[in-house]
């Protein structure tokens, strides 16, 4: 049986709760509820499927990621979007060389999917129409939202009806 897995950074609960308010606004005012299913996070490696019998191999590769890197601060600053066919509205982190370095270290062991690293915290996506995306982006571009958090670990998650953490590695 196949399962989905991915690797991410999660902000503290307070920021997850703050972002959830934005997601609830999109559900209420822009007919977009899909993003409510997932807690706020920054993806380091996107969802991929593997047979559950191969999960041990995923754990081994995850543990090989070099996390000898000091915990670092990420600043989230405002909103932006990806105007794709399936548009995405997100909270944008400021450029951060430590985050890029961490991603590059993940990529050394998880490189079987081509992935352009554009760090963000999703607020709206999937069932967000392009018209509603444009309307929401026009409003959200003018909302001031700035906060910071310390990244001190990465998390491996498996989808069991919802995303469940199955391993973590501390930065040191």
Q: What are phi and psi of 168, to 5 degrees?
A: -145, 155
What pLDDT is recorded for position 34?
84
Give the mean model confidence (pLDDT) for residues 73-80: 98
Give the mean model confidence (pLDDT) for residues 92-104: 97
Q: Residue 105 contacts by C-beta under 8 Å, 6 or more apart in sequence? A: 65, 66, 67, 69
What pLDDT is recorded for position 113?
86
pLDDT of 126 over the 90 cut: no
pLDDT digits (tens, 9 = 90+) for 23-44: 999 999 999 888 888 999 999 9
Q: What span, in angstroms and rounded, lies between the C-alpha atoms of 124 and 22?
A: 9
Angle at 77 between CA 76 and CA 81, to 5 degrees: 100
Q: What span, in angstroms and rounded, lies between the C-alpha atoms of 143 and 26?
A: 14
Total domain count, the chain = 1
pTM, two decimals, is: 0.94
Q: How confident is the model at residue 123 (pLDDT cuts 50, 70, 90)?
A: very high
CATH of the domain at 139: 3.90.1140.10
Q: What span, in angstroms and rounded, lies between the C-alpha atoms of 54 and 51?
A: 5
What pLDDT is recorded for position 57?
95
CA atoms within 13 A on the CB side of 47: 11
pLDDT of 155 over the 90 cut: yes
Q: Residue 27 contacts by C-beta under 8 Å, 6 or more apart in sequence? A: 33, 35, 36
The domain in which residue 134 lies consists of 2-170
């Amino acid at each position: 049986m196949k399962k989905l897995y991915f690797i991410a950074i999660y902000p503290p609960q307070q920021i997850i709760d703050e972002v959830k308010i934005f997601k609830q606004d999109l559900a209420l005012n822009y007919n977009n509820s899909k993003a409510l299913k997932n807690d706020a996070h920054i993806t380091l490696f996107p969802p991929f499927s593997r047979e559950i019998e191969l999960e041990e191999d995923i754990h081994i590769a995850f543990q090989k990621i070099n996390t000898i890197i000091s915990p670092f601060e990420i600043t989230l600053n405002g909103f932006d979007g990806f105007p794709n066919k399936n548009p995405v509205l997100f909270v944008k982190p400021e450029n951060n060389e430590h985050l890029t370095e961490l991603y590059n270290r993940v990529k050394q062991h998880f490189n079987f999917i081509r992935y352009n690293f554009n760090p963000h915290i999703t607020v709206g996506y999937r069932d967000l129409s392009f018209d509603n995306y444009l309307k929401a982006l026009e409003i959200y571009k003018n909302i001031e939202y700035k906060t910071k958090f310390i990244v001190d670990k990465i998390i491996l998650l498996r989808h069991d009806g919802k995303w469940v953490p199955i391993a973590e590695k501390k930065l040191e």
